[in-house]
Amino acid sequence: MALLNENYLKLPGSYLFAEIAKRVTNFKAEFPEANIIRLGIGDVTKPLTPAVIDGLHKAVDEMANPETFRGYGPEQGYNFLIEKIIATDYTPRGVKLEVDEVFVSDGSKSDVGNIQEIFGVNNRVAITDPVYPVYLDTNVMAGRTGDFINGMFENVTYLPCNAENKFIPALPTEKVDLIYLCVPNNPTGTTLSRTELKKWVDYAKANGSIILFDAAYEAYIQDPELPHSIYEIEGANEVAIEFRSFSKTAGFTGTRCAFTVVPKTVMALTAAGESHPLNKLWNRRQTTKFNGTPYIIQKGAEAIYTPEGQAEIKTVVSYYMDNARIIKEGLESIGLETFGGENAPYIWLKTPNGMDSWEFFDKLLNEAHIVGTPGTGFGPSGQGYFRLTAFGNKENTLEAVERIKTRLSL
């Protein structure tokens, strides 16, 4: 009889999204005429830009020609894309990277989930709370977290982020080995300054820790004083791995392309105390388990780095950030307390009148016919908070805010 990985049984399951779907389905059955606006999912609504479409079309034509056809490509990604990534996203910010330190993939979710494979199961993991669930769940699957007790895993260090600490996580009081930071943060939409990031880099260097830095939303940062990459912080190239994505920046949620930066100077130890570069281990993992991102997709991603492509994606980012402004201002006009929405496409709000997150979900659905995401789905510190996304179209965003202002009884 085959035995299963019992760590999977520790997972609470997709309770959040299953419960959202159940409640929306029941509501639609009772009120079939209701026009529901969804501001809960973090998917984009704007199509791929003209430069990207042109790049994809040209690549498709190449695949139809014997002289330009491509078969298996490099698992690490094609140099034509990697060189553009370095020259555009990093060099202007004073960050030096080599081509073999950037790994192109089919999405940050995959990389963020897979990266833990190169680390031992006895590492202590720290996550900010609330946060993107993939960080925690993949470590549970690996057997790194212990049991789920009273809404928390026993061997995980939770770093609460809330209004009281201005969503700035405190350094751990205990030694941790792997630190997940999401900046700008999903779900809270908040960011960390250079000073705050420097504290984490210094902590990692002092404790032999590795920072797993998810920068999927860096393109949405509006404040020129905020860093876009952790490698802008001195010493980070010794202790940090960075994840980036084209999904929300250029509408690649269905096209799938991202990249992960693993500097050759980032090291970890064996149980015997031998130091090894993580770059080599990640490369070995990718060449064994990943066949590479399709050539056609990488050519589409390359087009983002043309002058036309850069202008187009800035327009897209501005579109969603204007939605964020509309939502934020609308909520605040009726006295709701909001966070984020200024350097990220998410608005994190405090539920009114002491409601828990699910109570507010039901209230918003029943009174305004709007679906959002209860904060508890992102961790225990999300209780009493709620997430709305700016990734809808403008018309629905304006309509949703008007409904909240006119229909929601507070």
pLDDT at 272: 96
Helix axis angle, 295-302 to 50-63, nearest 10°: 150
Q: pLDDT averaged over the chain?
A: 96
pLDDT at 14: 65
Nearest CA to 328 among 380, 400, 395? Answer: 400
pLDDT at 12: 82
Contact residues for 241 (Cβ-Cβ < 8 A; gap 6+): 115, 210, 211, 212, 213, 260, 261, 262, 263, 266, 278, 282
Nearest CA to 246 among 319, 316, 172, 321? Answer: 316
What pTM did the predictor assign? 0.97
3-class DSSP state of 89: helix
Structure tokens of 387? 């997430």
Say how far residue 126 (Cα) sits from the centre of its chain. 16
Q: How far is CA 399 from CA 26, 286, 341, 370, 402, in A?
A: 23, 45, 18, 10, 5
DSSP 342: S
pLDDT at 259: 98
Question: Could you list the pLDDT tens digit for every one of the 410 residues in the chain?
Answer: 999 999 999 998 766 778 898 999 999 999 999 999 999 888 999 999 999 999 999 999 999 999 999 999 999 999 999 999 999 999 999 999 999 999 999 999 999 999 999 999 999 999 999 999 999 999 999 999 999 999 899 999 999 999 999 999 999 999 999 999 999 999 999 999 999 999 999 999 999 999 999 999 999 999 999 999 999 999 999 999 999 999 999 999 999 999 999 999 999 999 999 999 999 999 999 999 999 999 999 999 999 999 999 999 999 999 999 999 999 999 999 999 999 999 999 999 999 999 999 999 999 999 999 999 999 999 999 999 999 999 999 999 999 999 999 999 98
3-class DSSP state of 366: helix
pLDDT at 193: 98
The gap between the terminal CA atoms of the chain, to the nearest Å, is: 57
- Partners of residue 310 on adjacent β-strands: none
**Domains along the chain with CATH numbers:** 12-47+308-407 (3.90.1150.10), 52-306 (3.40.640.10)
